[in-house]
Amino acid sequence: MSKLNSIIENTKLIIFDQYGTIVDMQKGLTEAVTPFLKKKNWSGDPNRFVTWWRRTHFENSMIDALSKNKHTNYREIGQNAVSYVMDRCNINYTKNEVQWLISQIETLKPFVDVIISLNKLRETGYKMAILSNGDIDMLNNAKPYIGFDMDYTISVQESGYFKPHWKTYRSVELKTKIKKENCLFVANHAFDCIGAKSFGMFTAFINRRKRPFGHTQFQPDIIVKDFHELSKVLEKI
């Protein structure tokens, strides 16, 4: 039996990262901040502003996950990150404006290939779940904008750590009662795939940006360019 056939035969649950994997975070947030930054008379590149915002958010969430403190909500991490970037850019802002910017994460649309592919995977017989660093209320608010009902929506708030902490992946087992060796984790981010693979799940890397995965012992089991290819690869024989 080939490795791929073994993955297909053993997988009962497919778990997806949401931000950047299901929804197009970079494009959606850039579209949101462009008129905002124009009103602020900031002449920089909105796309780069969003990149700085997301990098700062990621760094702060990793610090939070590794610190011996109570878990900080995703929304608070995000507000601190975007405030920091605006401080660096010398942009004057209000608390309400920061809150509005973070709320745009809840309205992000999926990549164009996502929904049709998710429907094909459901028809094939897989159960599906979201495992996200987002707060549970943010994930619930996002559901109408995504337009697909997962079997499970799991926030890292339930484990008290941001991904890739191993307890976040364990929370999937605890909530779904499906063993990790019967789970396939799908993400557009190498760190997330590494976290899931090191925990003992199968992993699929969505390589939209055509970048190398990196030098690690926890290489993904499947590498595809988008969700169309993923659904084709996972068709049950």
Structural domains for the chain: 3-24+108-233 (3.40.50.1000), 25-107 (1.10.150)
pTM beyond cutoff 0.85: yes
pLDDT grade for 1, boundaries at 50, 70 and 90 = low
What's the pLDDT band for 112 if we cut at 50, 70, 90?
very high
Residue % of the chain over a pLDDT of 90: 97
Strand runs labelled E in 76-206:
127-132, 152-155, 183-187, 202-206
Confidence band, pLDDT 50/70/90 cuts, at residue 69: confident
CA–CA distance, 149 with 103 (Å, rounded to integer): 21
Based on the number of CB atoms within 10 Å of its own CB, is 208 exposed (0-12), middle (13-18) or buried (19 or more)? Answer: middle
- Predicted confidence (pLDDT) at residue 111 exceeds the cutoff of 60: yes
Dihedral in degrees, nearest 10, Cα atoms 101, 54, 158, 71: -90
For the record, the structure tokens of 87 come out as 């401080």
What number is the average pLDDT over the span 39-56?
97
Could you give the maximum distance between any two Cα atoms of the chain, in Å? 61
Q: How many CA atoms lie within 13 A of 149 on its CB side?
A: 1
